[in-house]
Amino acid sequence: MVQHNIDIALDLVKCCPSLVVAKDRNGYSPFYALACMPDYFLSGNRLVFWKRWIYSGIHIQSGGPINDIRLNIQKPARNRNQSNGKEIIGSGIEHLYEMKLAYFLSRELLSQMKDQILISNTQQRTTGAVYDAILRAIKEGIFEFVFDIVKADPQLVWSKDEKSTSIFSVAVQYRHAKIFSLIYGLDIKSTLTSSADVFYSNNLLHMAGMLAPSTSLNDIPGAALQMQRELQWFKEVESIVPPRVHVKINKESLTPRELFTKNHKDMRKDGEQWMKGTASSCTVVGALIVTIMFAAVFTVPGGSDRTKGFPIFLNEKLFMVFIVSDVLSLFSSSTSVLMFLGILTSRYAEDDFLESLPRKMIIGLSTLFFSIAAMMTAFSAALFLMLHEQSWIFKPVICLASIPITLFVLMQFPLLVAMANSTYGPSIFHRKMKRWF
């Protein structure tokens, strides 16, 4: 159905290019309608890594007429129809194929529309809602739409709505980092970042001080990481706007930083509660491990020689494994407890969410994970020392010892990875963007 709809639109635009900026009964043009369809573009679809891998293996080729477009991929079959030998592909692969085909056709349609936009005058563009379409595409996060159109006609970089909101102000407001990063490839950053809207006198940094839409925060786990992402946006915009913009006030007599503090008051409080709740739970686990590992040193497996006081299994290799694992678990769990106590006693200022608090949480979770693994190793070594003649118990013990480690990985490791990537991973902004027009 998607392919059919785009095919019709593409044929109509080819037959009558002036339809691109023609209004319908609702006052919208086909160009504006395309800007409202993020699902038809790659940037409007978020795929997990394995779907991205499959998606990249799908190749669409055009053999002339649009109806000759075909799939050039080895399609894995879910089952085979014995009567005609045709392969029936899984619904997942089929969905990705349809998605890529829609993307291919949409780019083709956008290219045809772009040619008509280039030869249209200012009046036609205004009537056909060309400027509104660009701003709407930014709101929807359709990078390809914005990039292709503005690159074709650089004057469209000055597109604004009735509030005089620029394209990069909209990108900041709706938190679309890839679109905002286009500003790094321009020589007119100072002019673009200094303007303000006519209604509220909000400049680009004021936009960064506003609360992000819920849709852009849904994929970020935890209020603390959401607060961190909001601070990253504010700091990034602050670094490129002229210094005079930092202290500009809007109609509410608020500077950008004051507006940020006002709008993120509840998020900061939620982030503080989230951090304290997580730290409190992990502190209990860490303290329990410290207690167990400290006591295990004085109650070594097999006991001690009554005359000299040395452990009976002192010369056994497994005993050294037990001692080393016990010590490592004790020290790492102690470190994690100290990190979590540091989180509980932090002042929770706004800038603490940028790096200080996440760093403590990363160290705390990492050392806690390591201490659990070392504790299970020490337990297994001690058990083998005492039951070394019962070799049949080896595999069950290993399996049982891996259960708590596996549970911790499933519950906490994704959070640890997300926090480490958000704090120390690649920036969401492409600062090395080359000049693109």
**pLDDT at residue 52 is higher than 60:** yes
**For 416-433, how does the pLDDT look when each residue is reduced to its tens digit (9 = 90+)?**
999 999 999 999 999 888
**pLDDT at residue 90 is higher than 80:** no
Q: Determine the pLDDT at residue 174.
A: 94
Distance CA 408, CA 399 (A): 15
**pLDDT at residue 377 is higher than 70:** yes
Q: Are 368 and 286 in contact (CB under 8 A)?
A: yes
**For 134-162, how does the pLDDT look when each residue is reduced to its tens digit (9 = 90+)?**
999 999 999 999 999 999 999 899 888 77
- What is residue 196's three-state secondary structure? strand
Q: Dihedral through CA 64, CA 68, CA 72, CA 75, nearest 10?
A: 170
Q: Determine the pLDDT at residue 361.
A: 95
**pLDDT at residue 178 is higher than 90:** yes
Q: Determine the pLDDT at residue 212.
A: 93
Give, in order, the Cα–Cα distances in Å from 21 to each of 3, 25, 33.
22, 13, 10
**For 13-39, how does the pLDDT look when each residue is reduced to its tens digit (9 = 90+)?**
888 988 888 888 887 889 999 999 898
**pLDDT at residue 80 is higher than 60:** no
Q: Locate 303 and state its tokens.
A: 């006991």
Q: Determine the pLDDT at residue 58.
A: 75
Q: Taking the model in full, what pTM does it have?
A: 0.83
Name residue, tokens 């609702």: 26
Ramachandran area for residue 361 (φ above 0: left; ψ -120 to 50: alpha; else beta): alpha
Distance CA 214, CA 236 (A): 20
**pLDDT at residue 257 is higher than 50:** yes
Helix, strand, coil share (%) of the chain residues, nearest 5: 70, 5, 30
Q: Where are the domains of the chain?
A: 1-152, 160-263, 275-424
Distance CA 30, CA 128 (A): 8
Q: Determine the pLDDT at residue 62.
A: 55
The residue type at 190: S
Task: For residue 89, list its beta bridge partners.
Answer: 77
In terms of pLDDT, which residue wins out, 203 or 60? 203
At the top level of CATH, the class of 160-263 is mainly alpha
Q: Which residues contact 377 (CB under 8 A, 6 or more apart)?
A: 321, 325, 401
Element (H, E) at 50: helix 49-56
Among 30-34, 76-80, 224-228, whose mean pLDDT is lowest? Answer: 76-80
Q: Are 2 and 41 in contact (CB under 8 A)?
A: no
Strands 77-80 and 87-89: antiparallel
Q: Locate 347 and state its tokens.
A: 């002042």
Distance CA 343, CA 250 (A): 35
Helix axes 356-386, 394-424, angle to 10 degrees: 170
Sign of CA dihedral 162, 168, 172, 174: positive
pLDDT band at 91 (very low <50, low <70, confident <90, very high): low
Would you give the distance in Å from CA 159 to the centre of its chain? Answer: 28
The residue type at 264: H
Q: Which residues contact 252 (CB under 8 A, 6 or more apart)?
A: 200, 259
**For 391-402, how does the pLDDT look when each residue is reduced to its tens digit (9 = 90+)?**
677 778 778 877
Q: Determine the pLDDT at residue 391.
A: 65
Strand residues in 55-167 grouped as ranges (E): 60-61, 70-71, 77-80, 87-89
Q: Determine the pLDDT at residue 187.
A: 82
Distance CA 138, CA 177 (A): 11
Task: For residue 61, list its beta bridge partners.
Answer: 70
In eight-state DSSP terms, residue 241 is S
Interior angle at CA 427, CA 425 and CA 433, nearest 5: 140
Distance CA 146, CA 167 (A): 9
Q: Are 419 and 221 in contact (CB under 8 A)?
A: no
Name residue, tokens 């595409």: 137
pLDDT, mean over the chain: 84
Q: Which residues contact 326 (CB under 8 A, 6 or more apart)?
A: 293, 296, 297, 374, 375, 378
**pLDDT at residue 3 is higher than 80:** no
Distance CA 202, CA 237 (A): 13
Q: Are 234 and 287 in contact (CB under 8 A)?
A: no
**Secondary structure, 3-state, 75-90:** CCEEEECCCCCCEEEC
Q: How many residues does the chain have?
A: 437
